[in-house]
């Protein structure tokens, strides 16, 4: 392989966060240590950002689920009692007589 192909491979591996392959290609290119550290830091930062985003998404889903469950447990009995009272009031309320 030519050095240009290794450079392209390194970019591709960095883009898809395949750090093992990126390190192998970087070693074959005999990159200086500061460049290797830079690649490692950027890939670690991207991976961390992905993990944080996934964690936030799961946390958001769990919070919404908890809110929904709490709402159902707390409000449903209240709603049913209101509906029952309304139906009782309807039964006992005098009906208005409409004139022709």
pLDDT the model gives residue 64: 82
- The full DSSP string for 20-87 is HHHHHHHHHTT--HHHHHHHHHHHHHHHHHHHHHHHHHHHHHHHHHHHHHHHHHHHHHHHHHHHHHHH
pTM of the predicted structure, to 2 decimals: 0.50
As to burial, measured by CB atoms within 10 angstroms (0-12 exposed, 13-18 middle, 19+ buried), residue 46 is middle
Confidence check: pLDDT of 26 > 70: yes
Q: Could you report the per-residue pLDDT of 42-92, keeping only the tens digit for each?
A: 888 888 888 888 888 888 888 888 887 777 667 666 666 666 666 666 566
pLDDT the model gives residue 92: 62
For residues 23 and 43, the answer to whether their CB atoms sit within 8 Å is no
pLDDT the model gives residue 87: 61
């Amino acid at each position: 392989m030519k050095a240009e192909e290794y450079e392209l491979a390194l970019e591709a591996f960095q883009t898809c966060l395949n750090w093992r392959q990126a390190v192998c290609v970087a070693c074959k290119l005999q990159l200086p240590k500061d460049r290797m550290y830079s690649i490692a830091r950027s890939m670690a930062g991207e991976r961390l950002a992905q993990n944080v985003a996934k964690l936030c998404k799961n946390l958001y889903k769990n919070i919404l689920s908890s809110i929904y469950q709490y709402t159902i447990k707390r409000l449903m009995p209240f709603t049913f009692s209101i509906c029952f009272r309304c139906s009782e009031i309807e039964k006992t309320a005098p009906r208005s007589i409409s004139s022709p």
